Amino acid sequence: MASIKILLADDHKITRDGLRALLEQQANMNVVGEAENGREAVRLAMDLAPDVVVMDISMPELNGIEATRQIRGVLPDTKVIALSMYADRRYVVGMLKAGVSGYLLKNCAFDELVSAIEAVTNNESFLSPRIADTVMKDYTHILEQDETAGVSALSAREREVLQLVAEGLSTRQIAERIHVSVKTVETHRQQIMKKLNAKSVAELTKIALREGLTALD
């Protein structure tokens, strides 16, 4: 089995030296180059075509986010792992958007870095627990924003009416089911269509199915 070719990009020589010494103790890993800034990391990646680049984020001349974007743009098979002291959302999201396959914090155990390198070379992702938590919170926030403009913008009664409409009940049947007047059901339906920007019962049914309010038999 061929060794995994690794490029180290970090502006601190002591960090690079430590990583090289530890990584080269692994039988299946070989450090093929070191870069002290983002621009050099891009140049060496083009010359060496490594399997994995271990990339710091905060570096002079060209930061890790932009360096990652450039490397991934030209070498899509080269995987990048962010190794940073920063767990801030803006850094994590920036690196993920740039195309990293892994994100670790510098205070992680060395075994975690080895696991990350092996994972990304198998086309898997690897996030340290703290980073995974940041990503999950960000994803949840995005979902909450999406929901605000969707079904969650409806009242509990409106969601109930939407489900019954999607299940094929007539206005009168819905009125009888939830013990309100026909006029009240009509008002609810108009409000639902307005909030969901729907023009027909068919559109309402699609939305109800998509949001899990009802299911196809």
Handedness of CA 71, 72, 73, 75 (dihedral sign): positive
Percent of the chain with pLDDT over 70: 91
The predicted structure's pLDDT at residue 148 = 45
Grade residue 56 by pLDDT with cuts at 50, 70 and 90.
very high
Indicate the domain borders of the chain: 4-134, 151-210
- CATH assignment of 4-134, among 3.30.365.10, 3.40.710.10, 1.10.530.10, 3.40.50.2300: 3.40.50.2300
pLDDT tens for each residue of 75-113: 999 999 999 988 888 888 889 889 999 999 988 888 999
Give the DSSP letter of residue 153. Answer: G
The answer to which of 6-20, 89-103, 201-215 has the lowest mean pLDDT is 201-215
Distance in angstroms (rounded) separating the CA atoms of residues 78 and 47:
12
Give the containing element (helix H, strand E) for 4.
Answer: strand 4-9
Residue 142 scores a pLDDT above 70: no
Short-list 128, 139, 129, CA closest to 93? 139
End-to-end alpha carbon distance in the chain: 51
The predicted structure's pLDDT at residue 70 = 94
Taking the whole predicted model, whether its pTM rises above 0.95 is answered as: no
- The residue count of the chain comes to 217
- The token pair that represents 94 in the structure block: 């920036």
Residue 205 scores a pLDDT above 90: no
Average pLDDT, the chain: 88
At the second CATH level, the architecture of 151-210 is: Orthogonal Bundle (1.10)
Asked, colleague to colleague, whether 4-134 and 151-210 share their fold, the answer is no
Percent of the chain with pLDDT over 90: 56
